[in-house]
Amino acid sequence: MIDRKIDPGQTLASQFQTPELFVVAPQMREKMHVHALIDEADIGLIRQAQLRGLNVEFTVDAYLDDLFPGVIEEIRYSSTTTQNVVTYPVIVAATNPELKLLPGMTANLSFLVDERKEVLKIPNAALRFFPESPYVRESDRGLLDGAGDTNREDRVSAERQISADERAQARRRRSRRHVWVDDGPFLRAVAVEMGLSDSRHTEVLSGELKEGQALVTGLQKD
């Protein structure tokens, strides 16, 4: 990379130090830096990912079919607040052997913040499903009261009115949910404790589920 600091014909004022005319970066093949802004709610996960040496993947608009690997090199403390949203700069380092990455490109990053292997997982659709009361066995119908009525904004507003300890307990309780299985003429609720989640599946930490067991994700009325 060459960054020219002056234009041809421009007058230079005399200084005690030699003026900077060019900035040359001869090591573009070895390392390029991607500057990311991370929301304060996620910066703890990013720090843990850095400590564990987990990788980062990103794409650039110039090469949509190429996936570039990187590592979290630095988390800076100089926060920025924009419309009440606090973000922190995170520097991701990536090699550039083919010189495809150029200064000023826009990158879309995905941070791997944790991973699990050989775990029981369930589809997220099963966690989003709430049956109607007539289809549920009588002993489980009390679980349907208010199910799915509280949206995120209402929940956050309510949490601001309680103590820090109560807020932490409420968030732990949200990791415990119910899924539904076919139990003869009615549906039966099974309590599960959730772990990691991605766009399609969620890890099951505990609960009376077995591998290969069918879960209800919707009802088709005749």
The model's pLDDT over 50-78, given as tens digits with 9 standing for 90+, comes to: 999 999 999 999 999 999 999 999 999 99
Range 5-39 burial, b when 16+ CB lie within 10 A, else e: eeeeeeeeeeeeeeeeeeeeeeeeeeebebebebe
Residue 145 in tokens: 């009261």
Hey, what CATH class is 13-111 in?
mainly beta
* Confidence bin at 108 (pLDDT 50/70/90): very high
The model's pLDDT over 172-200, given as tens digits with 9 standing for 90+, comes to: 667 788 999 999 899 999 999 999 988 89
| Side-chain half-sphere CA neighbours of 181 within 13 A | 13
Comparing 4-13, 27-36, 40-49, the range with the smallest average pLDDT is: 4-13
Which residues lie across from 93 on neighbouring strands?
33, 71
Domain with CATH 2.40.30.170 in the chain: 13-111
Comparing 39-43, 88-92, 149-153, 189-193, the range with the smallest average pLDDT is: 149-153
Note the pLDDT of residue 166.
Answer: 75
Work out whether strand 85-94 and strand 63-75 pair parallel, antiparallel, or are unpaired: antiparallel
Comparing 10-14, 163-167, 212-216, the range with the smallest average pLDDT is: 10-14
Residues 6 or more apart whose CB falls under 8 angstroms from that of 20 comprise: 5
Note the pLDDT of residue 155.
Answer: 53
